[in-house]
Amino acid sequence: MGMKTKTGMAAIAVTVAAFMCILLAFVTPYWLVNNGKVPNSNFEKIGLWEVCFNNFEDFRHHYDYKFTGCWWVFEEEYYIINDFLLPGFFILTQFFFTLCMTLVLIAAFLTWLYCFCSRDHDKYLLLLLSNGSNLILAGICGLIASLIFGFNGDRRDWMPQWQNNDLGWSFGLACVGSLLLLPAGALFLVEARRAKYRRLRGSAPQSHYSIEAHKPSGSHHTDI
């Protein structure tokens, strides 16, 4: 890793922390969890891509089939309850957080490039600007997803025993990670501004010429 400023090192550290939070939130099924106060609850937990039921039966249609265990939310067996399992707000949450995760993966690659990029490289400034903007956009997408789920995740017309369902630690990591992406992006943009200033200062013309350099080597006076 080349020599980096304190701002650059802080940007890397915050980006790594945000990446870990976003990645864990994306893959773990603890966005909404049952608090265990009701024994044998039909609902256990759900994440963006996995849901766990315990002898759950759709109370609106009374199908003979009962759902038990943890499955992918798009599993073929869940087709008959798709309208219940995947409401509009949940699809939007998946969309914006997937977009956030995609941008964070791009940011991870750009941050890796930054670690080994010299400050004298002609693409150094562009790299900083791209990564900073990308991280801020990722943070905005993550916050949108978190807000949508936070306002709707434990509503009474979604998962059974809604009064005993709580937002889980995966959701908490999504919020923390999304918030961390904003200062991470800001730090890269600050570093980009400093790099631009250094570049402009370094390319400023040096106009300090000695007056003596313009004087003739000898003075010749002609007397009339």
Residue 29 DSSP SS3 = coil
Burial (CB count within 10 angstroms: exposed 0-12, middle 13-18, buried 19+), residue 147: middle
* Residue 222: how many other CB atoms lie within 10 Å: 4
Q: Is the pLDDT of residue 124 over 90?
A: no
Domain membership of residue 62 (yes or no) is no
Q: Domain holding 166: CATH number?
A: 1.20.140.150
217 falls within a domain: no
CA–CA gap between residue 123 and residue 99 (Å, rounded): 26
**pLDDT above 90: percentage of residues in the chain:** 48
In the prediction, which pLDDT does 199 show? 62
Q: For the chain, how many structural domains are there in total?
A: 1
- Report pLDDT for 216: 53
pLDDT for the residue numbered 71: 87
Confidence label for 208 from pLDDT (cuts 50, 70 and 90): very low
Per-residue pLDDT at 137? 97
Pairing type for strands 50-56 and 43-46 reads antiparallel
Asked whether residue 61 is assigned to any structural domain, the reply reads: no
Query: pLDDT per residue over 28-43, tens digit each?
Result: 999 999 887 777 778 8
Distance CA 203, CA 21 (A): 41
Give me the residues paired with residue 70 across strands. 52
Rounded distance, CA 152 to CA 215, Å?
81
Domain that holds residue 137: 6-37+85-195
For residue 200, being part of any structural domain is answered with no
> What are the strands, taking DSSP E only, across the chain?
32-34, 43-46, 50-56, 67-72, 165-167
Distance, CA of 64 to CA of 162 (rounded, Å): 23
In a domain, 99, yes or no: yes
Q: Which amino acid is at 78?
A: Y
* Residues 148-204: tens digit of each pLDDT: 999 998 888 888 777 888 999 999 999 999 999 999 999 999 988 887 777 666 655
- Torsion angle defined by CA atoms of residues 70, 76, 77 and 78, in that order, rounded to the nearest 10 degrees: 70
Q: Is the dihedral of CA 53, 35, 160, 51 positive or negative?
A: negative
Please check whether residue 138 lies inside any domain of the structure.
yes
Q: Cα separation of 177 and 142, whole Å?
A: 8
pLDDT for 200: 66
Return the number of other C-beta atoms located less than 10 Å from residue 120's C-beta: 10
